[in-house]
Amino acid sequence: MKTLAVSGKGGVGKTTLASLLVKLLSKRKVSLAVDADPNTNLNLMLGVDVDKTIGQLREDITEDPEGIPNGMSKQEYIKYQLQMAIVEGSKFDLIAMGRQDGPGCYCYINNLLRVFMDSLAEKYPYVVIDNEAGMEHLSRRTTKNTDFLFIVSDATQTGVLTAERIKGMTEELKLNTGTTCLVLNKTPEVPENLQESISKGGFDYVVTIPEDKTIAEFVSEGKPLIDLPETSPSFIKLKQIAKEIGI
């Protein structure tokens, strides 16, 4: 199992990249898409409905412990519910984390969920995680051990600075992020004025994805990116990137 996580500041194209990665990898085998953004929207970009997030599931069990059917242990029940929360598609499966924390202590449930999530993820050849903006998720387990960490940025100094902070934080927290890749999105190439600061960032790879009209068209028409034509510029580029960085 290989884990690919997408990180970066808000609005730079994280969910878009995660969707395109799911599309790319699903051509090989059914992969698991994990929406770790509390503003669940990866499913929208991929074109599937989510009934229940892990956060909702956790809350339901906490609020109504009596809801566990007779003859079922709490552990079995949580496992069963987790199974129900997986959206199964033909090309990929998806699970949405929802809100990660709330009032009350969820330690017991959280621990169980972690164990189940880990064993669930093991069943897939690829797990693609779309994270919320910022760095908070780095201290959560979802991005602690990855094979590839994509840090998405726009082609601006502030964007790159944020990306470098995220990279710095992964080092500070001693995370096992595997290959780190700075993705400058919506630009045909790395702008000259950013080259120096990027080279200081210590990324394993620096790649670009062009602004793609087909993405904008699909989004404005509400069409899922999983159906984006393979001839679209962003997808062609992503295929090259995957080859280059060895996914």
Ligand X SMILES: Nc1ncnc2c1ncn2[C@@H]1O[C@H](COP(=O)(O)OP(=O)(O)O)[C@@H](O)[C@H]1O
List of residues contacting ligand X (CB under 6 A): 8, 10-16, 185-186, 209, 211-212, 215-216, 219, 234
How far is it between the farthest Cα atoms of the chain? Answer: 66
Q: Which is nearer to ligand X, 119 or 157 (CB)?
A: 157
Q: Which is nearer to ligand X, 81 or 185 (CB)?
A: 185
- The distance of closest approach from Cβ of residue 37 to Mg ion in the complex, given in angstroms and rounded to an integer, is 5
Q: What is the DSSP letter of 52?
A: -
Q: Which is nearer to Mg ion, 15 or 234 (CB)?
A: 15
Give which of ligand X, Mg ion, none residue 58 binds (C-beta under 5 to 8 Å, depending on kind).
Answer: none
Q: What is the DSSP letter of 73?
A: -
Structure tokens belonging to residue 121: 């993820």
Q: With CA atoms as reference, report the closest residue to 177 among 149, 141, 201, 203.
A: 149
Of residues 5, 7, 12, 15, which one binds Mg ion by CB under 5 A? 15
Q: Are 85 and 53 in contact (CB under 8 A)?
A: yes
Strands (E) across 116-159 are located at: 126-131, 148-153
- Name beta bridge partners: 126: 2
- The distance of closest approach from Cβ of residue 197 to ligand X in the complex, given in angstroms and rounded to an integer, is 21
Cα–Cα distance measured from residue 181 to residue 208, given in angstroms and rounded to the nearest whole number = 10
- The distance of closest approach from Cβ of residue 131 to Mg ion in the complex, given in angstroms and rounded to an integer, is 8
Q: What is the DSSP letter of 231?
A: T
- The distance of closest approach from Cβ of residue 152 to Mg ion in the complex, given in angstroms and rounded to an integer, is 10
Q: Which is nearer to ligand X, 21 or 82 (CB)?
A: 21
Cα–Cα distance measured from residue 221 to residue 225, given in angstroms and rounded to the nearest whole number = 11
Scanning 11-19, 106-114, 157-165, 211-219 for contacts with Mg ion by CB under 5 A, the matching segment is 11-19
Q: Which is nearer to ligand X, 170 or 234 (CB)?
A: 234
Give which of ligand X, Mg ion, none residue 121 binds (C-beta under 5 to 8 Å, depending on kind).
Answer: none
Q: Are 132 and 98 in contact (CB under 8 A)?
A: no
Cα–Cα distance measured from residue 135 to residue 71, given in angstroms and rounded to the nearest whole number = 42
Q: Are 15 and 128 in contact (CB under 8 A)?
A: no
Give which of ligand X, Mg ion, none residue 212 binds (C-beta under 5 to 8 Å, depending on kind).
Answer: ligand X
Q: Which is nearer to ligand X, 40 or 81 (CB)?
A: 40
CB-closest chain residue to Mg ion = 15
Give which of ligand X, Mg ion, none residue 153 binds (C-beta under 5 to 8 Å, depending on kind).
Answer: none
Give which of ligand X, Mg ion, none residue 131 binds (C-beta under 5 to 8 Å, depending on kind).
Answer: none
Q: Are 216 and 45 in contact (CB under 8 A)?
A: no
- Per CB under 5 A, residues contacting Mg ion are 14-15
